[in-house]
């Protein structure tokens, strides 16, 4: 038996004539934190809804460790937070958590005890007796995470937990996720690479219903590490025209040319550096800045997503 908690094989979903998820496979390790990354409309939400048992897959299978092929018993061991969590505004935070816990099969006393615990975890103890209608966006999001934890699930799935929040609310939720790491397996979707990098150790990049790339950060950094030369020139017509000739140079693998800057991905840094210096002195280019470095994950993400 491997240490995987969840296997997904060839999962797909068609809704009418569109197919938001076109056959994806991945697995989640117990205790890991995985980011489901992708641009808007990549099928992240549909995937999570299928995993939470809200939508039935059109094809493929979802298999939870120890469980059968159906997710029914598993719903008790999953915590799910939708992208736009909606609560009953007339309930208090505490009442909502107790209600949720009871729905997942906890007894009255247990539900109360666990609700107080998770309220402490997410820092909403003071607001516990207030109506949810009066909560701020960040508080609602934290309450959403609290309800996903209240029944002590082994896996929590969070759909875009920080996308709709202001910087302070975002900080609160990210800190909370970092604290939860290790205690529970986390799968969360986001379209912000930086958020994924901050708390997760693995990621799955979805583009247009398919998995474009997956792996741990170190693996991916290794795989996509490429020397890059960054160049910035004086704002003048001659320099700008010269920049546009760069993609044709033999040492350039790929280039991103803006009006005054160029980012050149190269194979051999030393060789490229010499060639570029020679080129610049020959053409008497007035540069402002030259920088040598390696590509960031941001570049990798853009590359994978851009196709």
Partner 1 sequence: MRLFWVFFHKEVIEAARSYKWIWVPAVFLLLGVMQPVMMYYLPDILRASGELPPEAAALITTPPPEEIIASTLSQFSTIGLLVLVLSAMNIVAGERTSGTTEMILSRSSSVLTMMTAKWAATMSLLLLSFALGYAGAVYYTYQLIGPLEWGTLAGAGAVYAVWLAWIVTLLLPLGAVFRGPAAAFLSLGIAAALTLLASLLPSQLPWSPGRLSAIATAMLTGESSPTFAPALAAVLLIILSTVAASVLLRRRPLSAQA
Closest distance of CB 88 from partner 1, Å: 6
Closest distance of CB 86 from partner 1, Å: 4
* CA-to-CA dists, residue 164 to 82, 85, 202, angstroms: 12, 11, 23
Nearer to partner 1, 87 or 251 (CB): 87
**Residue 287 makes contact with partner 1 by CB under 8 A:** no
* Interacting span for partner 1 (CB under 8 A) from 99-107, 171-179, 222-230, 277-285: 99-107
Single out the residue of 57, 61, 44 nearest to residue 212, CA to CA.
44
Closest distance of CB 112 from partner 1, Å: 14
Pick one of 121, 147, 154, 214: the residue that binds partner 1 (CB under 8 A): 147
Pick one of 49, 114, 142, 170: the residue that binds partner 1 (CB under 8 A): 49
What residues numbered 169-188 form the site for partner 1, per CB under 8 A?
Answer: none
DSSP secondary structure letters along 191-241: S-HHHHHHH-SEEEEEETTEEEEEEEHHHHHHHH--EEEEEEE-S-HHHHH
* Interacting span for partner 1 (CB under 8 A) from 100-108, 175-183, 202-210, 214-222: 100-108
Q: Give the separation between CA 272 and CA 254, rounded to whole angstroms.
A: 13
Instruction: List % helix, strand, coil for the chain (3-state, nearest 5).
Output: 40, 30, 30
* Interacting span for partner 1 (CB under 8 A) from 4-12, 84-92, 201-209, 292-300: 84-92
Contact between 177 and 142 (Cβ < 8 Å): no
* Interacting span for partner 1 (CB under 8 A) from 2-10, 50-58, 204-212, 231-239: 50-58
Q: Residues 156, 34, 23, 70: is their CA dihedral positive or negative? A: negative
What are the residues whose beta carbons fall under 8 Å from the beta carbon of 152, sequence distance 6 or more? 114
**Residue 82 makes contact with partner 1 by CB under 8 A:** yes
Query: Ramachandran region of residue 123, left (φ > 0), alpha (ψ -120 to 50) or beta?
Result: left
Closest distance of CB 301 from partner 1, Å: 24
Binding site for partner 1 (CB under 8 A): 45, 49, 52-54, 72, 75-76, 78, 80-82, 84-88, 90-91, 95, 99-100, 102-105, 144, 147, 151
């Amino acid at each position: 038996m491997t240490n995987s908690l969840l296997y997904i094989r060839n999962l797909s979903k068609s809704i009418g004539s569109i197919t938001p998820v076109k056959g994806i496979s991945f697995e989640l390790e117990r205790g890991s934190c995985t980011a489901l990354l992708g641009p808007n409309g990549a099928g992240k939400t549909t995937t999570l809804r299928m995993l939470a048992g809200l939508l039935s897959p059109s094809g493929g299978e979802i298999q939870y460790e120890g469980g059968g092929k159906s997710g029914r018993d598993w719903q008790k061991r999953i915590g799910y937070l939708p992208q736009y969590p909606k609560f009953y505004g007339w309930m208090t935070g505490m009442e909502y958590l107790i209600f949720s816990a009871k729905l997942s099969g906890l007894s009255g006393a247990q539900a109360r005890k666990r609700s107080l615990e998770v309220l402490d975890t997410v820092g909403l103890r003071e607001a516990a007796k207030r109506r949810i209608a009066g909560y701020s966006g960040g508080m609602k999001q934290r309450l959403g995470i609290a309800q996903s934890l209240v029944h002590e699930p082994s896996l929590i799935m969070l759909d875009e937990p920080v996308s709709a929040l202001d910087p302070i609310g975002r900080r609160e939720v990210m800190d909370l996720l970092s604290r939860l790491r290790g205690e529970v397996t986390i799968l969360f979707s986001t379209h912000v690479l930086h958020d994924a990098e901050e708390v997760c150790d693995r990621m799955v990049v979805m583009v247009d219903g398919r998995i474009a790339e997956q792996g741990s950060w170190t693996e991916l950094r290794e795989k996509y590490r490429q020397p890059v030369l960054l160049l910035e020139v004086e704002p003048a017509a001659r320099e700008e025209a010269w920049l546009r000739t760069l993609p044709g140079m033999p040492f350039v693998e790929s280039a991103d040319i803006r009006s005054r800057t160029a980012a050149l991905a190269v194979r051999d840094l030393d060789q490229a550096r010499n060639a570029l210096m020679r080129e610049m002195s020959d053409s008497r280019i007035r540069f402002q800045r030259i920088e040598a470095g390696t590509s960031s994950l941001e570049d990798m993400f853009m590359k994978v997503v851009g196709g």
